[in-house]
Amino acid sequence: MKKRILGLLLAVLFLTPLAAPAVATQGGEDGGEAAPLTGVTINVYNWGEYISNGVDGSLDVNAEFTRRTGIEVNYTTFESNESMYSKLVSGGANYDIIIPSDYMVSRLIDEGMLEKLNFDNIPNFQYIDEAYRNPVYDPQNEYSVPYTWGVVGIFYNKNYVTEEVDSWEILWDEQYAGKILMFDNPRDTFGIAQKLLGFSFNSTEESEWQEAAMLLKQQKPLVQAYVMDQIFDKMASGEAWLGPYYAGDAAILVEENPNIGFAIPTEEGTNFFVDAICIPKGAQHKEEAEAYINFLCDPEIAAANVDYIGYSTPESAAKALLDEEVVNNPIYYPPQEVLENAEIFINLPEETSLLLDELWAEVKMGGPGETATLIAILALFLALYIAAVLYKRRKAKREAG
């Protein structure tokens, strides 16, 4: 189904250069113009499995970029915004392109870790739909260009969950005890409790976070496991029946398992997330990086990318190139009312994220511990040590005497 459009795209992309020598006038578009940037290598840091890479007949986006511009791409991946962030702050590496999510973009902006983009070098920004410009995480749209977006919804096994799924409340339903999965990251997990309570994801009220934590503690006995990628296996095998996850990432789950359904709690609202392309401060090849961003915004490339990744594109022009089945699928492109009720994560102030980490550990531990206990453990071990030393001394003395 998805393969058809890909084949077409590939044909266009790969046949053009072959045909070029014959049609002499066509040469300009493909290789010639970007020549001054040739010979440079840019470091791209992206999510794992988050670019079309040539597998299964898909387009190899990075190779195509090199072919067109002469710029080499050194491509590395990260597995979470936080691991990318800690790599960036510890200063161990130098990246020219990073693709973090919304709240991480706003955090990096707040901390002055991003370069302002020169949009003169990114003419393809024109293709980005109005709705995705000037987002809350980058209000002036100076630092980022949206790459993909998606929403969070609930996956459920139709064989066991026969009622209509239209509220986060179902994740607190006792009859599914032990069959419920939750995210293994605090932001997404607390987000669900927050929406159920009618709070904002980006609240700075401590009481609201406390209330959400209470709700999650109540839910914990019903939760089978806190997982990320493992949700695919656990849902597909029937081990778990209910679990919230990112729509695009898990769309394949629904395609391959007809008994798995997907629903978005429209009323209560959900998380609408955007992953955006940025250039970190101190990037060595800013101009080349902008050429890369421009290339990714090319509707044909964007279409090939989202076709491979499964997330949604912020470009109508790219959407037009996609298979109709995909475009009409509410998992990929949910109806307008879902998006109207959805909220984006933005960066939390320092004290709120510290509180969040603390509460998250508490949810998982089932309550805060006492300092006295820790001191007692240390004292016990020390006592054991001293006892052992004394015992040995005495034994040595006895043997000597």
Give the tokens for residue 147: 């790459």
**Binding of another protein at residue 101 (CB under 8 A)?**
no
Q: How far is the CB of 162 from another protein (least distance, A)?
A: 19
By C-beta, is 5 or 180 nearer to another protein? 180
Q: What is the CA radius of gyration of the chain?
A: 26
Contact at 8 Å (CB) between 334 and 151? yes
Among 12, 93, 252, 377, binds another protein (CB under 8 A): 377
Among 169, 233, 267, 340, binds another protein (CB under 8 A): 233
What does the per-residue mask of binding to another protein show for 239-268, with x meaning CB under 8 A? x-----------------------------
**Judging by beta carbons within 10 Å of its beta carbon (0-12, 13-18, 19+), is residue 263 exposed, middle or buried?**
middle
Give the tokens for residue 190: 């607390």
Question: 232-247 burial by CB neighbour count: b if 16+ within 10 A, else e?
Answer: bebbbeeebbbbbbbb
Among 21, 373, 397, 399, binds another protein (CB under 8 A): 373
Residues 40-69 that bind another protein (CB under 8 A): none
**Binding of another protein at residue 389 (CB under 8 A)?**
yes
By C-beta, is 280 or 334 nearer to another protein? 280
Residues 160-179 that bind another protein (CB under 8 A): 178
Among 163, 164, 324, 350, binds another protein (CB under 8 A): 350
Distance CA 341, CA 336 (A): 9
Q: How far is the CB of 235 from another protein (least distance, A)?
A: 11
**Binding of another protein at residue 382 (CB under 8 A)?**
yes
**Binding of another protein at residue 360 (CB under 8 A)?**
yes
- Of the candidate spans 12-20, 222-230, 269-277, 321-329, the one that interacts with another protein by CB under 8 A turns out to be 222-230
Distance CA 11, CA 18 (A): 11
Distance CA 40, CA 32 (A): 16
By C-beta, is 11 or 374 nearer to another protein? 374
Q: Which amino acid is at 74?
A: N
Distance CA 54, CA 224 (A): 37
**Binding of another protein at residue 34 (CB under 8 A)?**
no
Q: Is 400 helix (H, G, I), strand (E, B) or coil?
A: helix
Distance CA 327, CA 307 (A): 11
Q: Given phi > 0 = left and psi -120 to 50 = alpha, else beta, which region is 39?
A: left
**Binding of another protein at residue 235 (CB under 8 A)?**
no
**Binding of another protein at residue 348 (CB under 8 A)?**
yes
Q: How far is the CB of 329 from another protein (least distance, A)?
A: 28
Give phi and psi for 152, each to the nearest 5. Answer: -100, 135
Q: How far is the CB of 243 from another protein (least distance, A)?
A: 12
Distance CA 244, CA 265 (A): 11
What does the per-residue mask of binding to another protein show for 71-100, with x meaning CB under 8 A? ---------x-xx-xx--x-----------
By C-beta, is 29 or 351 nearer to another protein? 351
Provide the Cα torsion 137, 141, 144, 148; round to 10°.
Answer: 70
What does DSSP say about strands 223-227 and 180-183: parallel, antiparallel, or unpaired? Answer: parallel
Interface residue list for another protein (CB under 8 A): 80, 82-83, 85-86, 89, 178, 184-187, 220, 223-227, 230, 233-234, 237-239, 348, 350, 353-354, 356-358, 360-361, 364-375, 377-378, 381-382, 384-385, 388-389, 391-392
